Copies of this chain bind each other. A is one copy, B any other.
């Protein structure tokens, strides 16, 4: 397959015109050349490290077949690397998710993300407080190298042990659902943690006498997941994060739930009932409960708010996500997997290639 006369956007080399050849799921040739007004833009396929569901499918209940359907759905939004995300669950519940995920076959299914259960009840958000707990490795099933991210609060009991466990198991800890202080975040940072989950949702408020996790993200070199749906965060906030934290460390995510792509109504988020009205998902208590955001919309919103370059857009939509989990990031370069998104100049999706096996 050849993409001819496209604006190629590589997160390292930047933007240039040319042709890209793909064979057997691999980029075999990237040819730079003069183009006259290329109509389409070729980006690495998007990475969504945080999504709970889509179109009626919920991670906590999904069958292998549903995981595959889910991957097919999000591929239409440009996502070629999906990290299905649990909420806090018992060992048995998480084991079931893992079992189904292991059986599922789809090139976009990357790894699981466990959002909890080692988080802070005070910052549970839309999670079931009864399933939130301190860390001990006995509370987790055998991860089978299929879990890449665990979201945890740095102030919980057993956090240091979780860090050791994460190193032994090739896992990345992402700080979140936390009431931790700046000191808690700084300590975790000093031990190598470099990631914050849906920043700054479900973190302690910023205060000038305790700057907390928000202050830590502004002070230290954390990667931050952002839900850019104009609901979880105001555009002014996103602009500020773009200025202060920068496109090198922002990771777009959807945090989407099963209601995504469906009508308003009552949905299930890992056992918690969620009411969706005007596309906004809330628990009975009124907490935001994930989103109904599609990845391509996050990409469009981010560009519109920040007026970032296309190179920066490639960074926030795929490159940084993989950097943050210490994986080799997607590129448009010979020898790399041909997971690609072709967009028109208004960022509408024209074509997505996802069929390279993982």
Instruction: Kindly list chain B residues whose C-beta atoms are within 8 Å of the C-beta of A84.
Output: none
Q: Which of B206, B210, B219, B240 contacts A243 (CB 8 A)?
A: B219
Docked pose: A234 CA to B182 CA in angstroms: 11
Q: Is A44 an interface residue when CB atoms closer than 8 A count as contact?
A: no
Instruction: Please tell me if the beta carbons of A219 and B206 are within 8 angstroms of each other in the complex.
Output: no
Instruction: Please tell me if the beta carbons of B237 and A215 are within 8 angstroms of each other in the complex.
Output: yes
Instruction: Please tell me if the beta carbons of A233 and B208 are within 8 angstroms of each other in the complex.
Output: yes
| Interface, chain A (partner B; CB < 8 A) | 182, 200-201, 205-211, 214-215, 218-219, 232-234, 236-237, 239-240, 243-244
Docked pose: A234 CA to B208 CA in angstroms: 6
Instruction: Kindly list chain B residues whose C-beta atoms are within 8 Å of the C-beta of A243.
Output: 218-219
Known contacts A219-B239, A240-B215; is-contact A209 B234 (Cβ 8 Å): yes
Instruction: Kindly list chain B residues whose C-beta atoms are within 8 Å of the C-beta of A200.
Output: 208
Instruction: Kindly list chain B residues whose C-beta atoms are within 8 Å of the C-beta of A205.
Output: 205-207
Instruction: Kindly list chain B residues whose C-beta atoms are within 8 Å of the C-beta of A234.
Output: 182, 208-211
Docked pose: A284 CA to B201 CA in angstroms: 35
Q: Identify 6 residue pairs between A and B in the complex whose beta-carbon atoms are under 8 Å apart, listed by A's number.
A: A205-B206, A206-B206, A210-B236, A211-B237, A215-B237, A244-B244
- Chain B nearest CB from A251 CB (Å) reads 16
Q: Which of B208, B232, B233, B240 contacts A218 (CB 8 A)?
A: B240
Docked pose: A200 CA to B211 CA in angstroms: 12
